[in-house]
Amino acid sequence: MEYYKAFYKEAEELTKALPEEQSELYKRYFLPLPIEELYKSLIDTKDGGGAEEAGLKELAKSFQDNLSVKPDVIVGSTRHIIEKQLEFVRILDANQVTEELLHGKMYKSHEDKLVALIHATSRKYVFIDVPDGKKASINMLFANFMAPSTVQVIIKIGRESELNLFEWFASKTNGKGSSLLGVLHEVSAGPYSKSEINIVHNEDQNTYVLNFSKAKTADNGRLGMNYVYNGGLNTRAKNELFANGHGSRNDVVELIMGSSEQKFDLNTVIANIGHDTVSDLGSRAALMDKSVCLLKGFADVGPDAKGSRSFVNERGILLDKNAYMSSIPGMAIKNSDVKATHSSATAPIDEESEFYLMSKGTDKTTTRKLLVSGFLSAGISRMESPVAKSTVASLLHEKVNSGHFGTIPKLDISNVWFTTQKETDMFEGHYKYRELK
């Protein structure tokens, strides 16, 4: 790891607590992470060798057996396996990455100390470059098998191209201390492109999760970014999505399912930069036991975003009295000719709905499962990829049933009902919740 240390000498310094993190306000709105400890574990990681490779293969087989999805590529902490040669995908070790490949990189190393941490410790880089007019569908499995890992995924989608990317993040730590799985995505969606990227986190209970992404969409491009946070001990995410080109559209779904003492600290910014753009962020969290979620969605409508639309909708359902959620939707509008809403509602399970279902015969446990599955399936319905829909539905079904996470669930979509949601419904919904206050 001397290579990384030399390349980012200052990263170690950055992992130390910053003065603002000592403030009470910061502590209220951000969940703490043991950055220094995680950094040390990352730089001490040894090459997993054959054991890691065998472990990754076993994980991929289990994934295929249980969910009927064959991963094309499996990326571990120090090794990777290519199951299917893909035309537009390259996986490189950090020391193979050239400045030319990183040209136009959106993230700057020092803009966030967690970004600096990922930059300083990424062993693997995944480059996905879909040329103009091409289509690609890729299933990827990432795992920090017996060792912490960070990875960068840099995606370029050409003009009139289509990308359907499914990523599943897993970990296997065997209960030995805390580990880290960090991922940083950079997505550049070209003009008239149409893409969906599904990022599913299902790490085990010993894993800290970092999820960072930046995406920009060019003229009339459409990009769907769907984030599912189901696993991990403590998750910190910061995702920024820019509808840059005129007529471009970014749809963002966040689904959070917490149990035991899981913590999620999610920061998402949707930005309308060009005119006639659409940015739509829909977040849904269902929290059990003592899980905690801080949900911070922010819509930024720029001065040149005439005729644009922006939506932030954060919903939470608390299944236990010790579960906690704080949703803080925000908005900055710098153009008067736009349509924008933001809303937030968190509540325990609706008593009327519960009584309604129970009065027809379903017991309390089944009723709660139906209601939570229903609540989350409204988010799943916004995903387009059948692979994403079925695997995420299975994952959340398992969580609702058992509270377990971090393992690969069996395919089961029997309790999920896929619905469609129109923009107008969202407006009506927002006003409905306002009235309820």
Partner 1 sequence: MLEIKDLHVEVEGKEIIRGVNLKINDGEFHVLMGHNGSGKTTLAKAVMGHPSTKIKSGDIIFNGQSVKDMSADKRAKLGLFLEFQAPVEVEGVGFVNFLRAARESTTGSTVDIKQFMAEIREYTDKLAISGGIIGRSLNQGFSGGEKKKAEILQMALLKPKLAILDEPDSGLDIDAVKAVAESINEIYNKQKMGLLLITHYSRILNYMKPEYVHVMAGGKMVAEGGQDLILKLEKEGYDSFIKSNGKRN
DSSP result, 169-211:
EEEE-TT-S-EEEEEEEEEEE-TT-EEEEEEEE---TTEEEEE
Nearest-angstrom CA–CA distance, 192 and 19: 44
User: Any idea what DSSP says for residue 20?
Assistant: G
Tell me which amino acid residue 216 is: K
42, 4 in Cβ contact below 8 A?
Answer: no
Q: Which two tokens stand for residue 133?
A: 């007019």
State in angstroms the smallest separation of the CB of 424 from partner 1: 12
Pick the closer one to partner 1 by CB: 238 or 389.
389
Pick the closer one to partner 1 by CB: 270 or 317.
317
* Rg of the Cα atoms in the chain: 21
Nearest-angstrom CA–CA distance, 312 and 199: 20
Pick the closer one to partner 1 by CB: 331 or 349.
349
The number of beta carbons lying within 10 Å of the beta carbon of residue 162 is 17
Pick the closer one to partner 1 by CB: 180 or 392.
392
State in angstroms the smallest separation of the CB of 418 from partner 1: 8
Nearest to 258 by CA among 239, 277, 237, 284: 284
Pick the closer one to partner 1 by CB: 62 or 366.
366
State in angstroms the smallest separation of the CB of 355 from partner 1: 6
Pick the closer one to partner 1 by CB: 26 or 356.
356
Nearest to 407 by CA among 30, 85, 143, 133: 143
SS3 338: coil
State in angstroms the smallest separation of the CB of 426 from partner 1: 12
State in angstroms the smallest separation of the CB of 68 from partner 1: 21
Pick the closer one to partner 1 by CB: 79 or 382.
382
User: Any idea what DSSP says for residue 288?
Assistant: -
Nearest to 336 by CA among 311, 298, 304, 312: 304
State in angstroms the smallest separation of the CB of 354 from partner 1: 8
Antiparallel, parallel or unpaired: β 263-272 and 292-301: parallel
Residues that bind partner 1 (CB under 8 A): 350-353, 355-364, 366-367, 370-371, 373-378, 381, 414-415, 417, 419
Pick the closer one to partner 1 by CB: 69 or 400.
400
Q: What would the 3-class secondary structure string for 235-271 be?
A: EEEEEEEEECCCCCEEEEEEEEEECCCCEEEEEEEEE
Pick the closer one to partner 1 by CB: 99 or 435.
435
